[in-house]
Amino acid sequence: MKGIHTRHRGRRWAALLCALLPALAGAVPLGGPLRVAIGETKAPYVMAEEQRGVEYELVSAALRGAGYQPQVLFAPNKRAQEWLAAGRVDAAIANDGGYLSDPYITYQNTAITLCRRQIRLDAVPDLGRYRVAAFQNARRFLGRDYAAMAAGNPDYVEQSPQITLNRLLYSGRADVAVTDINIFLQFNDELGPGLDTAPSLCPFALFPPTPYRLAFHDAAVRDRFNQALHQLNQQGFYEALAKRYRLPAPQGRPWFKPLAR
């Protein structure tokens, strides 16, 4: 009987060890490298070739502050999440699945006009009165009211690449450009001398901001990331990034800074 009990205990310990192995294998030691996947190049947020950008710097600084050595990989969001599920990375940009971080960045789509036109936009249906140029597939992502406006507006177009929106607005061929305000401003530097980009812009935040999080394999790593992110926020890191990348900060708050919880 003693031998049978010993064998049973041995099986139980073996089963427990097998259950623990995945967790132990996924643990990231402090001071060690941490693989994180974020999106592809989308200035000013990510500039993969140059290893910089607002989003790149935020994620890297927070991971260093959490005690890790970030190894940043770049991929479309869906592929980044597939890498996380397959265990190829320790964290990835995501808004569901895994252990989710607090929002670390916000994308803000706006309806951008030239201030001199004195256009007033209070709600999405107001866009129906104007020539609107938007990023590709905007009608799929900006809600039902927006989709209805786009369907009923004969002067509505969606354009790619997004720099086309800058050309249409500054040339007067569109009254409103719908896109992320920081991406729009980044493209101004690439327009060349043919268009006057000096006129003041009036962006209308008709759409809710889109917050982005990181999904982690390890809850403890996620918690350390959140703590480091909070410290960066307290230290004015978001405002310093806005100044470095020459991005607007209305009332002192950068558009890309998530709202306080």
Domain-located, residue 116 = yes
88 shares a domain with 52: yes
Average pLDDT rounded to a whole number, residues 134-161: 96
Short-list 185, 187, 147, CA closest to 164: 187
pLDDT, tens digit, for every residue of 36-81?
Answer: 999 999 999 999 999 999 999 999 999 999 999 999 999 999 999 9
Report if residue 21 sits inside a domain: no
Structure tokens at 248: 């607007």
**What average pLDDT does this structure show over 150-169?**
96
What tokens does 116 get? 């001199």
- Position 194 scores a pLDDT of 81
- The answer on pLDDT for 25 being more than 60 is no
The CATH number covering residue 151 comes to 3.40.190.10
Structure tokens at 53: 């950008």
What's the chain's length in residues? Answer: 261
User: Looking at the domain assignment, is residue 22 inside a domain?
Assistant: no
Domain that holds residue 117: 109-204
Residue 50 lies in a domain: yes
Q: Is the pLDDT of residue 33 over 90?
A: yes
- Closest to 111 in 3D by CA, of 153, 70, 72: 153
Q: What is the pLDDT of residue 133?
A: 98
Rg (CA), the chain: 23
Classify residue 3: in a domain, yes or no: no
Alpha carbon dihedral 96, 260, 233, 74, in 10-degree steps, equals 20
Structural domains counted in the chain: 2
Alpha-helix runs per DSSP H in the chain: 2-26, 54-65, 77-86, 138-141, 144-152, 163-171, 181-188, 219-234, 237-244
